[in-house]
């Protein structure tokens, strides 16, 4: 009896002990971060450590994002001696899932700055980027370890077999399940010890796949940063997204001619999106996870309207870029997202109009009915 009671009490203490260890670890990491990033007069980074959930408080704090974004955007950032990169690397290696989410939330910003410097025209003045590469490699290595050397597969339905939702006229022969169509979404990942130029797109694309797995936990500012960066990677100064026909192009020759007649122009002055980045190569291993993330940002029901609007701009920029480069997969994917976005906006507009009409009808006073007069014969 006593032994059973002792066991139960010990089991009851385990969740509390685990919670306290997680809180203590998060507070320690935040205090360490506050010694690296200088706070402002209006916001103190160390104050987040006093929260009951310090890791989530840091994740959802726009003031903390502003401070870290400023530090990461410094010209000298990203080197092997950068203390902020060391903090991101060590934090992601921790076993706490909430601390890992913090590092993942900064992946769009880190990738944007890293890729813009790698593909910059003047690379002579760029310092070493081994700090950024270490953070990206840490995310890649964790994702490769979780897959255990297996590829990500997608099962393609066999259209020759009857569907579950109808009764076929003729009974089709049952085929072996091994012969069913299987597509490779992502090949098995190889261990990497450095970000080589030939593997750069694959490594960053894998890191974005890890970001996509946890995208429901990502704050709004992280999704906005990703959409803005994607628009710049596609070529922000291309005006094709406003000139191409999104309703549908019948003749492929006319489509190619239309794309060829549109050029890349330079815009003088500032643009609406002040983001850090340059136009970069977009191979499919990088573009595929980017489209999946944009699909969530565009169609996720819990996303803010700012995220949806920025994702819509990014998808149109990618569609214009894919049209220039003639990438069939990207053209199909971006056009599909554009059509889905148009339907969502049309449905939302119709719903708002119906609600407005219903409200106006309810507020409109109705005419009083005349009393009915019944004639009774005597």
Cα–Cα distance, 233 to 289 (Å, whole number): 14
Residue 74 lies in a domain: no
User: Domain containing 341: what range?
Assistant: 219-264+275-353
Residue 344 lies in a domain: yes
Helix (H, G, I), strand (E, B) or coil at 70: helix
For residues 104 and 67, the answer to whether their CB atoms sit within 8 Å is no
Structural domain count of the chain:
1
Largest CA distance in the chain: 111
Put simply, whether the predicted model's pTM sits higher than 0.85 gets the answer no
In sequence order, which residues have a C-beta less than 8 Å from that of residue 340 and are 6 or more positions away? 298, 299
Cα separation values, 181 from 25, 175, 187, 275, Å: 47, 11, 16, 42
Residue 346 lies in a domain: yes
* pLDDT at residue 11 in the model: 46
Rg (CA), the chain: 27
CA 266 to chain centre: 28
In sequence order, which residues have a C-beta less than 8 Å from that of residue 127 and are 6 or more positions away? 75, 76, 78, 79
Residue 310 lies in a domain: yes
In sequence order, which residues have a C-beta less than 8 Å from that of residue 102 and are 6 or more positions away? 55, 58, 59, 91
Let me know how long the chain is.
378
What DSSP designation does 120 have?
-
Tens place of pLDDT for every residue, the chain, 378 residues? 445 444 444 445 577 777 778 888 889 999 999 889 887 767 888 888 888 889 999 999 999 999 999 999 988 888 889 999 999 999 999 888 999 999 999 999 999 999 999 988 766 666 789 999 999 999 999 999 998 888 888 877 777 766 667 666 666 555 555 546 787 878 888 888 888 989 999 999 999 999 999 999 999 999 999 999 999 998 855 555 555 555 544 344 444 444 444 443 333 433 333 345 578 889 999 999 999 999 999 999 999 999 999 999 999 999 989 988 888 999 999 999 999 999 989 988 888 888 877 776 666 665 555 666 656 555
Cα–Cα distance, 152 to 232 (Å, whole number): 29
Cα–Cα distance, 209 to 248 (Å, whole number): 30
* pLDDT at residue 303 in the model: 93
Residue 48 lies in a domain: no
Residue 71 lies in a domain: no
The dihedral built from the CA positions of residue 139, 142, 148 and 153, taken in this order, carries a sign that is negative
* pLDDT at residue 75 in the model: 87
Residue 171 burial (10 A CB sphere; 0-12, 13-18, 19+): exposed
Residue 315 lies in a domain: yes
* pLDDT at residue 15 in the model: 76
Residue 294 lies in a domain: yes
């Amino acid at each position: 009896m006593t032994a059973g009671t002792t066991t139960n009490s010990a089991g009851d203490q385990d969740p509390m002990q685990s919670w306290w260890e997680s809180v203590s670890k998060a507070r320690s990491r935040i205090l360490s971060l506050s010694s690296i990033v200088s706070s402002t007069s209006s916001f103190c980074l160390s104050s987040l450590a006093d929260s009951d959930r310090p890791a989530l408080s840091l994740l959802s704090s726009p003031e903390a994002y502003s401070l870290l974004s400023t530090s990461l955007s410094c010209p000298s950032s990203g080197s092997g001696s950068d203390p902020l990169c060391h903090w991101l690397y060590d934090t992601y290696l921790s076993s706490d899932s909430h601390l890992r989410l913090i590092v993942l939330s900064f992946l769009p910003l880190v990738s944007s700055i890293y890729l813009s410097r790698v593909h910059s025209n003047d690379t002579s003045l760029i310092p070493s980027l081994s700090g950024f590469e270490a953070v990206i490699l840490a995310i890649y290595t964790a994702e490769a370890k979780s897959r255990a050397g297996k590829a990500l597969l997608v099962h393609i339905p066999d259209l020759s077999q009857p569907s579950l939702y109808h009764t076929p006229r003729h009974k089709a022969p049952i085929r072996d399940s091994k012969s069913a169509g299987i597509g490779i979404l992502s090949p098995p990942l190889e261990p990497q010890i450095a970000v080589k130029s030939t593997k750069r797109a694959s490594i960053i694309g894998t890191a974005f796949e890890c970001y996509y797995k946890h995208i429901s936990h990502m704050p709004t500012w992280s999704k906005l940063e990703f959409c803005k960066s994607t628009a710049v990677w596609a070529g922000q100064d291309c005006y094709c997204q406003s000139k191409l026909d999104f309703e549908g192009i019948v003749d492929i020759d006319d489509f190619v001619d239309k794309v060829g007649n549109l050029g890349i122009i330079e815009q003088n002055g500032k643009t609406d999106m002040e983001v850090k980045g340059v136009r970069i190569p977009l191979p499919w291993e990088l573009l595929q996870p980017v489209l999946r993330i944009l699909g969530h940002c565009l169609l996720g029901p819990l996303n803010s309207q700012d995220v949806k609007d920025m994702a819509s701009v990014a998808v149109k920029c990618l569609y214009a870029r894919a049209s220039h480069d003639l990438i069939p997969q990207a053209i199909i994917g971006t056009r599909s997202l554009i059509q889905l976005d148009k339907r969502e906006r049309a449905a939302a507009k119709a719903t708002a109009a119906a609600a407005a009409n219903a409200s106006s009808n309810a507020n409109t006073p109705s005419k009083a009915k005349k009393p009915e007069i019944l004639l009774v014969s005597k």
